[in-house]
Structure 1
């Protein structure tokens, strides 16, 4: 996979297909393959006539790792995304993020609205504003030597996912402690781009998609029936809804 040196940070990415560009930003403890390639998103969007760019966020996948929480934060990671667009000489793209990636996509849209054509916030609803719980149990779970010693259910799930993806757990713990910046209702209301908020109906982490969409002038909601936070990403309803959103605006 190619790498780009963006503002002194080594970022791994993929770049496939031709057509209107779409930038994919993965969720916490995931990477471009697990979040986007394996569930079929890259092939789906390429076949839909799009140029698909997906990056590994700093601390994840094949990108550079840091063990200091100060090296993370969603606004900083949004700058990595913008810098990658600069590196690839892409003036504007559609942007889709899942969970933490949706928060990063929101900061990118807020801080650089000219770079975002439209945005898809998947796996994150009103939790973007209200927060999604205490990050410390997850960070501690990532730092714990033995998974069987972890009592927090959410922390244990993220630890198992981190082990499954072969992640640098110290880097993820640092990221977890700094990546959950809330966005105020007023700031969310300043997003003028068309937005799709896509959340599983059994997702206990994301928060209400309707409550978030109500704050955004040009937003609509996609409910992913019967899916929780960990499995909604690859659901066929999710994919069909995203394509409909993209192609309806194209029409």
Structure 2
């Protein structure tokens, strides 16, 4: 069973979340232009994690899904997505938890860890080292997508991103502001983390740099490779299976 609820962030933006399962809390954050349903529920990943004994809490990031989508840039301050997740944990009175995210969700996990989040274990998925340390590179790609809607060459990465935007019904004006909230995470900061961090990435996914380099930099990092590229890996059951293995296996 999927439960839906929402709360107001400090700036008044409505943040929605879905949850399923009972047990240890797991905050699971979706990727850019997606939402909880597409990233985690539709293809069975949330169900697999719930079956493994987790209370899976899946927010829709601001500007995404059924959360608020304001167009005023004042609602997209730097690191606002991490702010929202800290607020959600506080709203739910959760202090002992695990943490995971895909793509932008993985980047948000990194920002939370950089700012003092202390989960038992973390998953950074659909993300490589460069996607955390040099966020402007990916930001430029998406600015091009939004600034030239309807003009991208068929089959190009920008065209595929626009096609995904259409399938999720995303709001381009709100989503473009998200890009201004990105904050780089320094490699030295990443290397300082002492908790087990699983890097779960599609074997053909190079959109955000090298997942292997990220795993190698982490003190207790482990690479879990799954089939697919950045888009298709989400549709594979192996993604959920890898998340379960990362959270329930022996620590490394």
Q: What is the alpha-carbon distance in structure 2 between the residues aligned to residue 74 and residue 54 of structure 1? A: 22
Q: Is the 8 A contact 1:4 1:10 kept in 2?
A: yes
Residue in structure 2 matching 1:125, options 106, 113, 128? 128
Mark the runs of 5 or more structure 2 residues left unpaired by the alignment: none
Bigger shift: residues 32-41 or 203-212: 203-212
Aligned to 2:229: 228
Aligned to 2:161: 158
Instruction: State the superposition RMSD in angstroms.
Output: 2.1
Aligned to 1:175: 178
Bigger shift: residues 232-241 or 195-204: 232-241
Aligned to 2:187: 185
Q: CA deviation at 1:135?
A: 2.4
Q: What is the alpha-carbon distance in structure 1 between the residues aligned to residue 209 and residue 190 of structure 2? A: 15
Could you say what secondary structure the match of 1:113 adopts? coil
For residues 234-245 of structure 1, the aligned pairs below 5 Å read 234-245=235-246
Structure 1 length normalisation: TM-score? 0.90
For residues 83-122 of structure 1, the aligned pairs below 5 Å read 83-114=87-118, 116-122=119-125
Bigger shift: residues 78-87 or 199-208: 199-208
Divergent runs of 4+, >4 A: none
Q: Does 1:79 align with 2:83?
A: yes
Structure 2 length normalisation: TM-score? 0.89
Aligned to 2:64: 60
Bigger shift: residues 131-140 or 82-91: 131-140
Distance verdict in 2 for CA 1:19–1:74, change over 3 Å: farther
Q: What is the alpha-carbon distance in structure 2 between the residues aligned to residue 66 and residue 207 of structure 1? A: 31
Residue in structure 2 matching 1:3, options 3, 6, 19? 6
Mark the runs of 5 or more structure 1 residues left unpaired by the alignment: none
Q: What is the alpha-carbon distance in structure 1 between the residues aligned to residue 219 and residue 141 of structure 2? A: 35
Q: Deviations over 1:141-167 (max 9, x none)?
A: 32445x2x2249222222111111111
